[in-house]
Amino acid sequence: MIFLKSNFFAEKEIYRIKPQGEFVDTPSGVLMTRLREVECRASYGTRMIVMKKNTEDTAIYIAYDDHQAFDPARPERELLRAVLMSALSDVKKSGGIHEEARQFFLSEEDDYIFSFRSICFFLNVDPSKILVLTGLSEEEIKEQENSRHQFDDMPLS
């Protein structure tokens, strides 16, 4: 037997269905058994499957596909991810770009929408983990500052 899957984009895919009496897990997640004819109608994430055994015993099953709702905040999150990824790549560079990225990560400001703290808040990311990954955690910064002061205090000979 053949299972014809169609959606509202007019794409058609054909799947084989096992013989009568066997359970079949189709790609859409619908469990079917004892099929003779299958007719599929799809509309906006809902698929109606009509299964006919014979004229005396007709079974109609309605199954819903796993539907992922459109997230209207997705473009904004992608933009915030891009800003964060750009800053992560800039912190690896040297010179003025590195210092600007370092200031971005170490800034305590959270009022500005593109500040490091607010981006982490909107993306549900722990800022301390990112700081550790970039090597800018508070402990490492203190160690770097201490090592700088030690070298500044050393006499030149």
What confidence tier does 67 reach under pLDDT thresholds 50, 70, 90?
A: low
- Tally Cβ neighbours within 10 Å of residue 76: 12
How much is the CA Rg of the chain, to the nearest whole Å?
Answer: 29
Mean pLDDT lowest among 42-46, 48-52, 69-73, 116-120: 42-46
Tokens of 42: 């799809």
pLDDT attached to residue 110: 85
Secondary structure element (H or E) that encloses residue 43, with its range: strand 37-43
The neighbouring-strand residues paired with 59 are 51
Backbone angles phi and psi of 75, in degrees to 5: -60, -40
Would the pTM of this model clear 0.75, i.e. be above it? no
* Most confident of the ranges 50-54, 80-84, 136-140: 80-84
Is 46 a residue whose pLDDT tops 80?
no
Residue 152 has pLDDT above 70, yes or no: no
Residue 61, SS3 per DSSP: strand
The band of 154, judged by pLDDT with boundaries at 50, 70 and 90, is low
Token representation of residue 66? 């796993």
Q: Please say if the pLDDT value at position 106 is more than 80.
A: yes
Burial classification of residue 87, based on how many CB atoms lie within 10 Å of its CB (0-12 exposed, 13-18 middle, 19 or more buried): buried
Q: Which has more confidence, 66 or 93?
A: 93
Residues 5, 152: Cα–Cα separation, whole Å? 73
Q: Tell me what the mean pLDDT of segment 37-63 comes to.
A: 45
Query: Alpha-carbon torsion 13, 11, 63, 34, what sign?
Result: negative
Query: What is the arithmetic mean of pLDDT over 134-153?
Result: 69
